[in-house]
Amino acid sequence: MLKGEFEGWSNEDTQTKLDALVKVICDHEMYGVTTGLNTTTWRQAFHSELSRKRLKGILKFTHHYQSCFHSAVAMVMQRQLELGHTSDVVDLVFDQQDGLLKDSIKHYSSFKSSFPPAVQKIAGEISVGNDKNTPALQAADLLAGQLTTMLKSGPGPTYKTIVKCHQVIHAKAYPPQFQTFPAIIKAVSWAWTEKRTLDAQIAAEDEHSPDKKRNDK
């Protein structure tokens, strides 16, 4: 059963719409990037005795969406440089998303100063759009949907047409040195627990100190 924007459409009408969009994509010069990760592997790496909220408060960067966001941005910047577009500023548009998109854009802006010089030169602004009125997002949604279908049941005719027309670059979204993350999370969790224990001991000692008793009189 079709859902979302295609709810109520017949399979034939849906395919006709997809074919028309694919034709537009193939008629224009562009490339695609796709990135992702295994969410189970991600959650296991961030397993902690601390609550998710507490861990996020300490590390800021804990959700797989954030990693995918920055991976996609990095892939586009890298590809632009590979194509020789070393002075063309790249502005990016992300589809509306309730939750982590706003924070991810803030992180991107704050990270800019630490980008390699060549990337700093082309790293533009990131804005939020709506796929209903932003053609580029419609193309991105189509690619994402076709990739999801391919992972489940193999490449279909629409996906095959897209990759025949244009280069589509795939990459995993795990941060560098991701294999070290479990040990880092464990160390952070231990340090936070020890800090809370020490804080409680200091508070208890202060409560029973002679100076505290004199001040209470």
pLDDT in tens, 84-126: 999 999 999 999 887 899 999 999 999 999 999 999 999 999 9
pLDDT at 69: 96
pLDDT at 2: 47
| Backbone φ and ψ of 63, nearest 5° | -100, 145
Query: What are the angstrom distances between the C-alpha of 30 and each of 5, 25, 55, 80, 139?
Result: 25, 8, 39, 11, 10
Those residues with Cβ within 8 angstroms of residue 212's Cβ, 6 or more apart along the chain or in another chain = 206
User: Token digits for 57?
Assistant: 């408060």
pLDDT at 1: 44
Specify the amino acid at residue 75: M
Distance CA 18, CA 159 (A): 11
pLDDT digits over 18-74, tens only? 889 999 999 999 999 999 999 999 999 999 989 989 998 999 889 999 999 999 999
pLDDT at 36: 94
pTM of the model: 0.83
Residue 89 CB neighbour total at 10 angstroms: 11
Those residues with Cβ within 8 angstroms of residue 145's Cβ, 6 or more apart along the chain or in another chain = none
pLDDT at 99: 82
pLDDT digits over 191-210, tens only? 999 998 998 888 887 776 66
Mean residue pLDDT of the chain comes to 89
Distance CA 105, CA 156 (A): 33
pLDDT at 88: 96
User: Token digits for 206?
Assistant: 């202060």
Nearest to 135 by CA among 24, 209, 47: 24
pLDDT at 212: 57
pLDDT at 9 over 90: no
pLDDT-derived band at 174 (thresholds 50, 70, 90) equals: very high
